[in-house]
Structure 1
Amino acid sequence: MRKVMALVATASLLLVTACGSTTMASSGDTAPLASIKVTPGSDDSSDPTVTFDTPLVATATAAKVLVEGKGEAIKENQNIKFKSIAYKATDASLLGSGFAGEPVTLPTNEEFKAQLPALYETLMQTKVGSWIAMVEPAAEAAATDGASPSASPEAAQAETVVVLKVVSTEEIPPAAPPSKKLGADEVKKLKDAGALPTFEMKDGKPAITIPKGKDAPAGLVVDIVKEGTGKVATATSKVSANYTGVRWEDGKQFDSSYDRGKASDFGLDGVIPGWTQGLTGLKAGTQVMLTIPTDLAYGPDAAAQGAPEGTLVFFVELKEVK
Structure 2
Amino acid sequence: MRRRSLLIAVPAGLVTVAGCGGDNKSDSSKASDSASPSAPATSAAPPPKIVGGPLPAVTAGTKFGEKPAVAKGSGDPSKQLAVKTLIAGGGKAVAENDYVQAHYLGQVWSTGKVFDNSYDRKTPLLIQLAEGSIIDGWRYALQGKKVGSRVLFSVPPTWGYGKEGNSQAGIKGTDTLVFVADIQGAFNASSSAKGTEVPQNDASLPKVGTNTDGKAPSIDIPKKDAPTGLVSKYVIEGDGETVAAKDSVLVQYKGVFWDNGKEFDSTYGRKALTSFGLQQVVKGWAQGLEGKKVGSRVLIVVPPKLGYGDKPPAGSGIKKDSVLVFSVDILAKM
TM-score, scaled relative to structure 1:
0.43
Higher percent of residues as strand: 1
Name which one, 1 or 2, has greater alpha-carbon Rg. Answer: 1
TM-score, scaled relative to structure 2:
0.42
Higher percent of residues as helix: 1
